[in-house]
Amino acid sequence: MSSSGNYPHRYALIMAGGSGTRLWPMSRVTKPKQLLPLIGGKSMLQLSSERLEGLVASDKRLVCASCAYASDVLASISALAPHNFLGEPVGRDTLNAVGFAAAVLAARDPDAIFAVMTSDHVIEPHGAFCAAVDGAFRLVEADARRLVTFSVPPTFPATGYGYVERGDAIAGFDHAFRAKRFVEKPDLARATEFVANKAFGWNTGMFVFHARTVLDAINWFMPQNAPGLARIGAAWGTRDEDAVITEVYPTLTKISVDFGLMEPASRDERLAICVVPMQVSWRDVGNWQSFGAEIAADAEGNRTVGSAIHLESKNIVVASDDAHHLIATIGVEGLVVVHTKDATLICPAAMAERVKELASRVPGGYQ
């Protein structure tokens, strides 16, 4: 793998705009899940930044998140310069986060190529991740028309994930292919077929793009957003920066990068969609059940962050941010128990996905 210092036009964007309501009550409006020290005492945002070591220099890593989280993000990543924090006054989905970064980077460096990373996944091993991302950078460095996505081997027939099928190999590059088709959230029967078919992988939502190509594509496919993003890029770093973003960003049409860019690009001969298989374990820490899978279990399958004691209980996930509060259980099984200073959640682990629904109903003081 190459050193990041040898590639001055390589950048990275970490998208950290989610609210993480499925991890309520720890994840709140004022402190979303990507900023919580949930994994080995580190936040997933910190882990996302550290994952880029050896690929992208620390001064070329950008984070896009709500303006309200600016101080927390800058405190979480000590090497992040304020001019590399892209503050959204309102969320406008992932296409505009990517377009925001592309506009800023293209103004800074006309040859900028950037990786788009997520802030809510655990990815291992590091070496395999770096090798795949380095390969994607090389693809775009060789041809700026390429839009590169990553796939990972599916471990079960997930119906909540998107899938990508790889097509023909790309000559001159190891483990790189043309993307044949994308399938979003298939039913169980099709997902089961995809797991058996080694040409399919989970679509990770991570990408590598040339900044100018992204702006061209937005001009072609989402022309209503292109002028606003151009204004933001032109104002970035000037005294008008905040005023322009505050005025323009809320007016941008809200759409995901998958629907606003990748889907129309797959039908456009001016662009080439590529897929790089990533031989890693890729885990979405999206709810308390998946969070529990990241914690070592005792002999009875109980997993704990904080202080807990169990008597004849099995497969309990406990998370507490209060070291002086003991959680105790007797004779229960398959529960999630989450304790904070002002709220406690108890639910069957099998219903962890419904925490998002619950969080939408809690009184404002507990959000």
pLDDT digits 0-9 by tens, 32-85: 889 988 888 889 999 999 999 999 999 999 999 999 999 999 999 989 999 999
Can you say how many angstroms the Cα of residue 353 is from the centroid of all Cα atoms in its chain? Answer: 18
State how far the Cα of 227 lies from the Cα of 152, in Å rounded to an integer.
35
Domain match, 334 and 218 both: no
Q: Per the structure, how many domains does the chain have? A: 2
Domain match, 26 and 151 both: yes
pLDDT band at 174 (very low <50, low <70, confident <90, very high): confident
Round the average pLDDT of the chain to a whole number and report it.
94
Final residue belonging to a domain, choices 283, 299, 324:
283
Domain match, 17 and 118 both: yes
Domain match, 27 and 153 both: yes
Domain ranges, residue 333? 288-366
State how far the Cα of 366 lies from the Cα of 288, in Å rounded to an integer.
18
Q: Check residue 5 and give its pLDDT.
A: 63
Domain match, 147 and 245 both: yes
Rounded average pLDDT over 83-103: 97
237: domain CATH number is: 3.90.550.10
Domain match, 155 and 302 both: no
Tell the burial category of 196 from Cβ atoms under 10 Å away from its Cβ (0-12, 13-18, 19+): exposed
On the question of pLDDT at 240 being above 80, the answer is yes
On the question of pLDDT at 3 being above 90, the answer is no
Rounded average pLDDT over 276-283: 93
pLDDT band at 19 (very low <50, low <70, confident <90, very high): confident
Final residue belonging to a domain, choices 249, 283, 317:
283
Final residue belonging to a domain, choices 283, 298, 317:
283
Domain match, 246 and 199 both: yes
Domain match, 221 and 351 both: no
Domain match, 144 and 157 both: yes
On the question of pLDDT at 167 being above 60, the answer is yes
Domain match, 254 and 296 both: no
pLDDT band at 126 (very low <50, low <70, confident <90, very high): very high
Cβ atoms within 10 Å, residue 111: 14
Domain match, 293 and 200 both: no
Can you say how many angstroms the Cα of residue 140 is from the centroid of all Cα atoms in its chain? Answer: 21
Domain match, 191 and 328 both: no
pLDDT digits 0-9 by tens, 295-349: 999 999 999 999 999 999 999 999 999 989 999 999 999 999 999 999 999 999 9
DSSP 306: S
Q: Render 176-193 in DSSP notation, one character per residue.
A: -EEEEEEEES--HHHHHH
